[in-house]
Amino acid sequence: MSDTPDLEPSSAAANEAHRPIRSYVIRAGRYTDAQKIAIDVHWDNFVVPFEPRLFSVDELFANANPLTVEIGFGMGDSLLEMAIANPERNFLGIEVHKPGVGKLLHGLAENGCTNVKVFCHDAKDILAHCLAPASIDTLLIFFPDPWHKKRHNKRRLVQTDFITGLLPLLTANGRIHLATDWEPYAEHMVEAMEAVQGISNANGATNFWAEPDRPGTKFERRGIRLGHGVWDLLYTKNA
């Protein structure tokens, strides 16, 4: 045993302290043939390579239509459905799970969608670097990874600091729509969101949104099969 006090953190602990907290793990998903082909053929049409610089809505879409951003679209079924139903809007999907991106690309190509772009990269970097102030009309985070264990709760995407940091990117009266099937995360979301200055709960403080206007998602259907409930929250930025 050393007789000197242990003042320096171990290098492992020091590395840990500098590592960013990730809200995801990259899963080694299998690709279907359709996903592989879509990635080979359509990647460049829809996927924007991450660079730490501003991308204007006009540069991404060649128009100035209102922008919806979905973080963590998973297999992309909700994003595809919304994009088809709302051709007058632009959609930016952000997802790190490449097979899910492949699935979405397949659907976008099959349906001739021209109003969707994708970043296959950490949403925290995209929001920190790539989008201009007042450029997002609607931000969607549907069924983010619940990070059940107490010691993992800090990895949950919805946190007061994260939402506060992205607020300048929302237009005046811009919307943030959240959904989860995990009750403790729903409670955490309410607490985190109600602590953000400059937004209001559209259904009254601390209230959930009983009849949300969104498509179903794959993760939601899995939760329902497991007997989970579903909780939606809608916040609007104060003008």
* Helical (H) or strand (E) element with 192: helix 183-194
Q: Which segments of the chain are extended strands (E)?
A: 67-71, 90-94, 116-119, 136-142, 170-180, 199-201, 231-237
User: How far apart are CB 70 and ligand SAM at their closest, in Å?
Assistant: 7
145 assigned to active site: yes
How do strand 170-180 and strand 136-142 relate by DSSP bridges? parallel
94 lies in the site for ligand SAM, by CB under 6 A: yes
Using CA atoms, how far residue 30 sits from 83, 87, 94, 119, in Å, is 26, 31, 19, 20
Tell me: does residue 145 bind ligand SAM (CB under 6 A). Answer: yes
β-partners of residue 92 are 69, 117
For tokens 């909780």, what's the residue?
Answer: 231
User: Which is nearer to ligand SAM, 43 or 200 (by Cβ)?
Assistant: 43
Number of residues forming the site for ligand SAM (CB under 6 A): 23
Q: How far is it, in rounded angstroms, from Cα 48 to Cα 84?
A: 20
- 185 is a contact residue toward ligand SAM (CB under 6 A): no
Instruction: By CB under 6 A, name the one of 23, 68, 90, 138 that touches ligand SAM.
Output: 23
Of positions 38, 39, 92, 97, contacts ligand SAM by CB under 6 A: 97
181 binds ligand SAM (CB under 6 A): no
Contact region for ligand SAM (CB under 6 A) — 33-41, 60-68, 69-77, 105-113?
Answer: 69-77
Q: Taking CB under 6 A as the criterion, which residues in 187-206 touch ligand SAM?
A: none
The residues that touch ligand SAM, with contacts defined as CB under 6 A, are 23-24, 71-74, 94-97, 100, 122-124, 142-145, 157, 217-220
Task: Give the residue numbers annotated as catalytic, written as ranges.
Answer: 145
